[in-house]
Amino acid sequence: MPIVVETLTIQCRAGTIPSVLAVLEPFVRETDAGCWVAEIGLLNRIIVMRVAANGEREAFQPPALPWPEEAVVEVEQDLWRVVGDAILSPGDYGPVYEFRCYDIFKDDVSEVERLFRDALPKRLPYSPLLTAMVALDDSARFCHVWPYRSLEERASLRREAVAAALWPPKGMATLLETMRSEIYLPASFSAYL
């Protein structure tokens, strides 16, 4: 049975991150979820990621959290299928997490997944992969999350992998409509630090 992951992306108003994190903390701790705050990219965003206990899509209901009404602009819930068994157990891998997400040309999702899986074994010696995921809705999206000890480590390791012609996966770029990379830092109570 494939591993299913849920992400909640919470867009907050400026200055309200602490109040939203206070609401999220019990939920994140109870579900052993990851919780990150945007550092570089679209700011005032929080991502919460948790794995389905039984791998079923129906396992997820949007949490009824008492959001401070004036704090939250939007909450997006997405369900993802993990590529292979590539998801790390909760632990201390960061504190810098890069979320790389792509919009893929509709007919090319399986090819993007194949190219990524084929290239991954040569990339993993450089740094661990938290997870790679394909959206379960009809949006043709692919996302992979990489933890690093620092931004400097990220730049150095990526540069080495590119110089060795091991990364990015060959042939994948032409299958992507858009590419986004955002840097997130874990909340103090995140299962992934």
Distance CA 23, CA 41 (A): 23
8 A C-beta contact, residue 191 and residue 24: no
Give the pLDDT score at 61: 59
Phi and psi torsions of 28, nearest 5°: -65, -45
Residue 34 lies in a domain: yes
Residue 141 lies in a domain: yes
Residue 134 lies in a domain: yes
Check the CA dihedral 164-169-175-181 and report its sign.
negative
Residue 88 lies in a domain: yes
The mean pLDDT values, 10 residues at a time, for the chain of 193 residues are 89 95 93 96 95 61 73 91 86 97 92 94 93 91 97 95 92 94 98 97
- What tokens does 40 get? 């570089």
Kindly report the pTM of this predicted structure. 0.93
Distance CA 146, CA 183 (A): 10
Distance CA 131, CA 86 (A): 5
Give the pLDDT score at 9: 94
Give the pLDDT score at 1: 75
Give the pLDDT score at 54: 63
Give the pLDDT score at 85: 73
Distance CA 108, CA 165 (A): 23
Residue 193 lies in a domain: no
Distances in whole angstroms, Cα of residue 118 to Cα of each of 24, 111, 146, 166, 171 = 37, 10, 17, 11, 11
Residue 67 lies in a domain: yes
Q: What is the CATH number of the domain that holds 96?
A: 3.30.70.100
Residue 192 lies in a domain: no
Number of structural domains (the chain) is 1
Query: Domain containing 60: what range?
Result: 4-186
Residue 115 lies in a domain: yes
